[in-house]
């Protein structure tokens, strides 16, 4: 397995997940009236405060990782799978799973971006 096929998509997924944690979940808790639950989560995981304080860098890093991941997916979309039937089936299955993870990453990133940068202008 190469760096671009394993590490970059994993960094994109975890980066987009962290944008969800820093921005979307706190906004969801507060909008549902669960501010006390948010305080409990933040006191248990104080690292969330650090993520929120550095959200511009976090979103930049995550966005770059998602773009690199999407680019490598696009460039390797027609790469051949092994000739062996079992390995070819596994290769195609892993490509579908990888595509699903990519779409989840993009979705999480967009949700986090909305709550971090757009929603505050629409609400208030």
Taking 90 as the threshold, does the pLDDT of residue 81 lie above it?
no
What pLDDT does residue 2 have?
A: 55
Taking 60 as the threshold, does the pLDDT of residue 52 lie above it?
yes
* Contact between 120 and 27 (Cβ < 8 Å): no
Full-model pTM: 0.77
Taking 60 as the threshold, does the pLDDT of residue 1 lie above it?
no
Residue 54, helix vs strand vs coil: coil
Taking only the tens place, the pLDDT of each residue in 20-34 is 777 777 877 777 888
Domain interval for residue 26: 3-123
* Contact between 102 and 74 (Cβ < 8 Å): no
Average pLDDT over all residues of the chain: 83
* Contact between 13 and 62 (Cβ < 8 Å): no
Give the chain's domain count.
1
* Contact between 108 and 20 (Cβ < 8 Å): yes
């Amino acid at each position: 397995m190469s760096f671009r096929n394993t590490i970059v998509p994993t960094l994109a997924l975890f980066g987009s997940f962290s944008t969800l944690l820093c921005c979307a979940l706190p906004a969801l808790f507060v909008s549902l009236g669960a501010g006390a639950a948010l305080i409990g989560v933040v006191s248990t995981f104080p690292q969330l405060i650090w993520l929120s304080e550095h959200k511009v860098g976090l979103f930049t890093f995550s966005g770059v990782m998602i773009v690199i991941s999407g680019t490598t997916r696009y460039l390797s979309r027609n790469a051949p799978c092994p000739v062996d039937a079992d390995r070819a089936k596994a290769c195609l299955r892993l490509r579908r799973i990888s595509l699903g993870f990519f779409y989840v990453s993009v979705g999480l990133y967009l949700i986090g971006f909305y709550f971090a940068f757009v929603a505050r202008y629409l609400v208030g």
